[in-house]
Structure 1
Amino acid sequence: MKKRKGGSGGASWMDTYGDMVTLLLCFFVLLYSMSSIDQQKWVQLVQSFNPDAVHEATEMKGNAGQLADPTGGPDGGSGQQTQEEIDTTIEQLFIDLQTYVAQQGAAENISVTKGDGYVFISFNDAVFFDGDSYVLRTDGEEILNEVGTIIGKARSSIDELRILGHTAQGDPSKPNNPTVDRFLASDRATVVLVYLQELNILDPARMISMGYGQFRPVADNASSEGRAKNRRVELIVTGLDVTSTLGDGIEQYYTERGTESPVSAETRTGTAAIG
């Protein structure tokens, strides 16, 4: 009987198959390295397998430096806004504030103006404080309730809300005591900021108080009317600029100090906006 020849034919096709699989693996790895993952789609995929999965929003650089997160704008809006949408919101804020002042007949004590990307609101001392005082008056609280609610409607488009405190020079021939002057101006601005912050109209990280003292008058201190105009608190509402390569006000602060923000917008606010 003829002896069957031995051989390793099986091993030959296994070698070829192994080489092909290796090449396919390299091909797909190459494709993957050239691709980018859509974060939002990835989250949807994960949640489709596990509906209870919790996605923690992370801040990332995007849109020419503007802070963004998967939930939307800086205060958790429905999506990234265009500059045109932001400008429209700031314009509407200006109109709403003007309407409020006209309805209240308060044009003598409250003025509202608009510049390029910001709204400027000025209150003289009769609105919020008595002379030489930083205790907020009851009628001043009522005005802040209304003005704060109007500002809160535009929160998703606001970069910063700055509160400026001023004093008048009591004796036109003699400057105020620097310590008293500076603290009074700063205290007035801070009292207004704290009241607005407790209304929860805006991310507190976007609210800033500043005291200018007597050094930026808008009227002559020689008359009581002029001093009343100089003893004032002002609000400057600045809209976001998504075209800025420096980012928004919060991002610029951390850039200037050479670090990144350790917390997200949600962590800073902790509570929802007013209705």
Structure 2
Amino acid sequence: MKMKKSDGGGGGANWMDTYGDMVTLLLCFFVLLYSMSTVDENKWKALVQSFNPDAIETPTDPKGNDGPNADPLLPNASSDTLSPEEIDAQAAQKEVDSAMEDLYQMLMQYIQDSGKNIEVTKGDGVVYVNFDDTVFFDGEEYVIKPAGEETLNVVCGVLDNAAPYIDEVRVLGHTAQANADRPNTPSVDRFLASNRATNTVIYIQEHTSVLDSARLVSEGYGQHRPIAPNDSEAGRARNRRVEMIISGKNMLDKLGDSIEQYHTLVKGEAQAPESSAPSSASQEESSTSHDAGLSNTEGQEG
């Protein structure tokens, strides 16, 4: 007797049971995630202390600048993550930054009160001063004019006030090109620029009582960094100038300031001199070289 074939009814929708179970599990999973994202702070503290009764609560900055996981290099890092030396360095750097800001404000106040044509700008730990060209030197001259001395007297007082926080004072000497189509004679041009910067540094050194003379640096650039065309008297007057770059100490630099870095560089090759004052013989030799270098300045600068 033959068996009847099944008509295929039933069992066709069994896959929906598996699908329904999967959707239910996903729903539970997302509900769990949501519940974890809104954990009550007090309940979470109770849970942590139940596992670790000795746990200590540490407030954490939401920006990541504080707390146990804060970056110790960030300025707002918790003092718990810094060594005593790093904490002292940060405090000292704040004093330096404040002193450099005061120096900048004092120079700006002098400009406003006196009406002097002086440009003062401020950078990261640096104050840049561009003195009025016509105030300091005449053409082919490196002797500071009385009006320039008057300005430097004020600058010297400002430098003395911030002296403990100053790393270096760099004075840059510049010249104008007498002929726009023909460069100056290199030897005369360089001597003139260097002597302008040197005379300015000498004046500052002689009229400051607190600023360390070792932090004064003079540099001569000659005609090679003009700020105006040399085809007019007004342009040449702007190029005939001195500039000053005053940099504050970087207390976070483990290599120290510029003087310490210099002696570190030459350590083992030369010993630091006990006194920076030159001998009378060296002063006489320097004076002779300046005079020789400028003996033929006629017609070299406009």
Counterparts of 2:253 and 2:124 in 1: how far apart (Å)? 14
Contact 2:263 2:272 in 1 (8 A): no
Q: Deviations over 1:219-269 (max 9, x none)?
A: 1111221111111101111000011122101011112222476367xx669
Which whole-Å CA distance do the structure 1 matches of 2:85 and 2:94 have between them? 14
Amino acid at match of 1:197: Q
Matches within 5 A, 1:148-167: 148-167=156-175
Q: 1:256 corresponds to which residue?
A: 265
**Within the alignment, does 1:101 sit opposite 2:101 as a pair?**
no
Aligned to 1:48: none
- SS of residue in 1 equivalent to 2:171: strand
1:261–1:160: structure 2 CA closer, same or farther, 3 Å change rule? farther
Structure-to-structure mapping, 1:1-275, within 5 angstroms: 82-106=92-116, 109-201=117-209, 202-259=211-268, 262=272
Distance change in 2, residues 1:235/1:261 (3 Å): farther
Contact 2:176 2:240 in 1 (8 A): yes
Flag structure 2 segments of 5+ consecutive residues without an equivalent. 1-83, 278-302
Deviation at 1:172, TM superposition (A): 0.8
Structure 1 segments of 4+ aligned residues over 3 angstroms from their partners:
259-264
Structure with larger RCO (C-alpha < 8 A, sep 6+): 1
Q: Check whether the contact 1:160–1:249 (CA below 8 A) recurs between aligned residues.
A: yes
Task: Tell me the SS of whatever aligns to 2:220.
Answer: strand
- Whole-angstrom distance in 1 between the partners of 2:85 and 2:156: 29
The structure with the larger Rg is 2
Distance 1:243 1:170 in 2: 46
The code of the aligned residue for 1:156 comes to: P
TM-score by length of structure 1 reads: 0.65
Could you list the per-position Cα deviations for residues 24-73 of structure 1 after superposition, in whole angstroms to 9, with x for gaps in the alignment? xxxxxxxxxxxxxxxxxxxxxxxxxxxxxxxxxxxxxx968x9x9xxxxx
Alpha-carbon distance between aligned partners in 1 of 2:273 and 2:208, rounded to the nearest angstrom: 18
- Show CA shifts across 1:152-211 (max 9, x none): 100010000111100111111000100110000000000000000001241111100000
What is the alpha-carbon distance in structure 1 between the residues aligned to residue 129 and residue 171 of structure 2? Answer: 10
CA distance in 2, matches of 1:180, 1:83: 43
8 Å Cα contact 1:170/1:176 also seen in 2: yes
Higher strand share: 1
Question: What stretches of structure 1 of length at least 5 have no aligned partner?
Answer: 1-61, 69-79, 270-275
How many pairs were matched up? 191
Partner of 1:7: none
- Any idea what the Cα deviations from partners look like across 1:49-105, whole Å, max 9, x if unmatched? xxxxxxxxxxxxx968x9x9xxxxxxxxxxx96101100100110010011011111
How big is the alpha-carbon RMSD for the aligned residues of Structure 1 and Structure 2? 2.4
Q: Distance in 1 between matches of 2:183 and 2:110?
A: 36
Tell me how far apart the structure 1 counterparts of residues 271 and 156 of structure 2 sit (CA, whole Å): 27
Counterpart of 2:143, as a letter, is: V
Identical positions, percent: 49
